[in-house]
A and B are shown apart, each in its own frame.
Chain A
Amino acid sequence: MTTVIARTATRITVPIALVTAVALLIQGHNLPGGGFIAGVLTAASLALVYVVFGLEELATMLGIRDGGRFGHGPITYYRATFGLGLALAAVSGLVPIAFGGPFLEQTYWVLHGVPLYGEVEVASALAFDLGVYLTVVGALLEIVSVVGAE
């Protein structure tokens, strides 16, 4: 797999794919996209790195090579990522309760006079979507690494 062509192509496409994923996540509320799609795209491009360069290189790229204080290697981080994602989604659902709304109620604010953009709409759903994104990325990367490690 690790031909020069594959490596070069990966180097070029992965950053673009990652940026696209972020774009899909942020614009998802109004244009095609969303947390799930962005998450799968991120996972797919990182999986490409893994296939072409290997597990070690992927971990180095993500800066989690040493396994940190858990000492179980990158998989622990992937698990932590989707745990964080689930927690974020749940907390974003709990916040409205504090304001007297039902669980998982969403709202949005329109900000005026933001430099460069002028009018920006901020949806509270973005937090929930970010949770979805993190869950998907963490879970898929974990599956890919566990299966790949076999």
Chain B
Amino acid sequence: MQPAFPAVAALVFLPFLAAALVPLVYRALGERTAYFGAAVAAVCFALVASQYGARGAVGVEWIPTLGASLEFYVDGLALLIGFLASGIGVLIFVYSASYMHGEPDLPRYYAALLAFMGAMLGVAFAGDLIALFVFWELTSLSSYVLIGYHRREPRSRYAARKALLITVAGGLFMLVGFLALHSVSGTFDLAAMLAEPAAVRGELRSAGLLLPVIALVGVGAAAKSAQVPLHVWLPDAMEAPTPVSAFLHSATMVKAGVYLVGRFRPLLGTEEWMLLFVALGLVTMTVAAMLAVAATDTKQLLAYSTASHLGLIVAGFGFTAVAGSAAATYGGEAGAFHVLNHALFKAPLFLVAGILAHQAGTRSIDELGGLWRDLPVVAAVTVVAALGMAGIPPFNGFYSKELLFEASYDAAVHLGGAAWLLPAVAVFGSIFTVLYSLRFLLLFFGEKPEALGEVPRPPAAMLAPAVLLGGLVLVVSVDPDLAATAIVNAVFAGVGGEGVVHVGLPTAITPPVLMSATAIALGLVAFPYYDRLGDGIGGVASGPLSANWYYDEAVAGLNDLGVSLTAITQTGLLRTYATWTLGATSALVLAGYVATGVSLPAVSGVSVSAAAVVVLLVAVLGAFAVARAPSHVAGVLTLSILGFVVAVFYVLAAAPDLALTQLVVETLVLVIFLLVLDRLPAYYGEVMSRRAVRDAGLALVVGGTVAVTVLLATATRPERGIASYFVENAVPAGGGGNVVNVILVDFRAFDTMGEISVIGMAALSVLTLIAMRGRGESQR
């Protein structure tokens, strides 16, 4: 089935439109704006559902001459991400209605949340690399607003800035990768590239760009999906309100990274790809699971667990064709299935963590326990979701993890040697997954701490979303084949797989089954030593051994660098600003000329009339007089000699309009100077010779740059210039004899429009800078 353009465009842009309307809606509905958001999300969900089963690209042309168009690409993977973003979005909005009750700044919250959802839908359905990049960065921006929701809290601001810096920086790497891809394939069109993956791969390889593109796209995905060592922003992002965390961890943001890996897998899936992503994924899966064991906060535990499970998905997508092995198939199935499973169990677990924080007033793991009596329904949801997270059969996480085990085992069998590390690391990481899942489960069992007191039941709006998601985990657990047929098969096809996904409980003892059994058994054995394990890991992962250390040092270093650079370049003295601005401009311009290798045109046959020579000589003398002027007034007056002489030169060059303009502008500038001069000291201070030499040098450089620019700009004149067109058409088309004016108001009126807007803006800037200077200060 071909996707329908109106539906896809609507589902991507509707959330943004709604986000813009939120301030108005909030005025009418107040806190019930949450249900407006839920309704929008529900409409998006319905629109995604209407495209169920579609596959292909649709779009409209925007600027055909530039090849710019609005393209969407729909397939199983895009639809799954779309279902998750909009479906979980509905539940998040409903949950927010209760969780965010009484919080300030709700319009900002709901608008950002809607934009977040829209950006994620845009990432999922973008059919063009540039659009993908734009939506990608929009998810970073909107998550920045959401993570930094408590903007008066330093920790919240720190977390928001961290997430923004890391994910946006990763996005820039990805953009460079896209541009490299474009330089080879000649298109940004995703569908066109996916139609001929082998050809694109071949061209990339022959251009020597295959590995760089894989690495650059990988950095982008790793930053977004919190892969080690770029995972550091994710645990801090728990500063966001819990509904945001649940959304961010299950359906948006971090899923964008694995989406990217899945999306490019058919295109770039080579040996290099496998090496990079399997290693990245398995290391992340293990390291993040270990860090989760060291966590002391419920949301922190879940955050590390998200990074770990994303590592599983990345590793799954990382497996590509190995001769004689089915590792690629198993890996693709594992990744595709686990995108769904992880969203289904992680979202309710975060909602549960939110309920605990909201009802019990704490997120500390040590202070919670034995809550099943107070919160039986929540406990039931947690049991289902946490066992899914642990990968205990028959819960949903088991099936996808089993597929990853099969992939790693199969690859090891066929590759041999060091490849046996893959199944070993996978099992090792899974032990910790079992450990922290059980620890989270124990929040509801065992002994209840005295200090906890009576914990009230959560309101229905908070409970219902968690129960619904828990129910979905049960459905997938009981009948994984149903989920496979309905959703995962199409996703699998989207990530380059062939055939259908077969999942189910194992019927025979195979090595992968033994791997699962080992992981679960060792997890249970090690559980009594949980606290000691956690302390040990927490002790090791500090200082230069933790990725956080590098982030903090780098940001602090950049800050210091910025401060010291500012001290040099921005001293508050106009002279310094002029020096740096003019010097930097000249350097950039000259570097541009050198880089493009232009050569100065030969100047020949210069013919200047005697009158012009005299006038120009006067101008040169005037320029020297300005430099020698003993006072401000004398300087300004001699400067205007220069200006008026230039006007005379224009007259000689038969340009009356320019001469007129030059004259009146010169007069006005003189008047303004005289106004200002009143306030300045009458005489210059002593001139230091060192400074004078520096200024003279700078003046020579600037003058030289301008001279070179003029020579170059006037040399490259086209054969038949546009000037003759203007001259010929001024009277018949523009109805004016003054060509300059006709150009200004008719042929190039758009330019003039821009210029007068600039004049208006300049006036406003002067007004705000000078007249309103005092106001900003008093507000602080």
A residues at B contact (CB < 8 Å): 1, 24, 28-37, 40-41, 43-44, 47-48, 51, 75, 78-79, 82-83, 85-86, 89-90, 93, 103-104, 106-108, 121, 123, 125, 128-129, 131-132, 135-136, 138-140, 142-144, 146-150
Contacts and interface: CB of A to CB of B under 8 A. Distances in A.
Which residue, B736, B737, B738, B764, has most C-beta atoms of chain A within 10 A? Answer: B736
Contacts of A32: 656-657, 660, 738
Interface stretch (B28-36, B481-489, B601-609, B755-763): B755-763
Nearest to B749: A104
Contacts of B770: 146-147, 150
Given A128-B745, A143-B766, 19 more contacts: A29-B734, A29-B735, A29-B738, A29-B742, A33-B738, A34-B745, A35-B745, A36-B661, A37-B664, A75-B771, A89-B752, A89-B753, A89-B756, A108-B734, A108-B736, A121-B735, A123-B745, A129-B745, A135-B759
Nearest to B655: A32
Interface stretch (B92-100, B421-429, B666-674): B666-674
B756 A136 contact: yes
Nearest to A141: B763
Interface in B711-769: 734-738, 740-742, 744-746, 749-750, 752-753, 756-757, 759-760, 762-764, 766-767
A47 B671 contact: yes
Given A34-B741, A37-B661, A131-B756, A47 B672 contact: yes
Nearest to A131: B756
Classify the interface of chain B: helix, strand, loop or mixed: helix
Given A29-B742, A44-B667, A125-B734, A86 B661 contact: no
B738 A40 contact: no
5 contacts: A37-B657, A44-B671, A47-B668, A51-B675, A90-B753
Interface of B: 656-657, 660-661, 664-665, 667-668, 671-672, 674-676, 679, 734-738, 740-742, 744-746, 749-750, 752-753, 756-757, 759-760, 762-764, 766-767, 770-771
Given A44-B668, A108-B735, A82 B763 contact: yes
A147 B736 CA distance: 38
Given A41-B664, A51-B671, A146-B766, A83 B760 contact: yes
Contacts of B752: 89, 128, 132
Nearest to A132: B756
Given A40-B668, A44-B664, A34 B760 contact: no
Contacts of B756: 85-86, 89, 131-132, 135-136
Classify the interface of chain A: helix, strand, loop or mixed: helix
A143 B768 CA distance: 11
Contacts of B664: 37, 40-41, 44
B741 A29 contact: yes
Contact of B763 (A1, A79, A106, A131): A79
Contacts of A138: 760, 763
Given A33-B657, A147-B675, A147-B676, A123 B736 contact: yes
Given A136-B756, A144-B672, A146-B770, A28 B741 contact: yes
Nearest to B766: A143
A142 B767 contact: yes
B202 to A, nearest CB: 45
B757 A86 contact: yes
A139 B671 contact: no
Contact of B760 (A29, A47, A86, A144): A86
B347 to A, nearest CB: 48
Contacts of A103: 750
B661 A125 contact: no
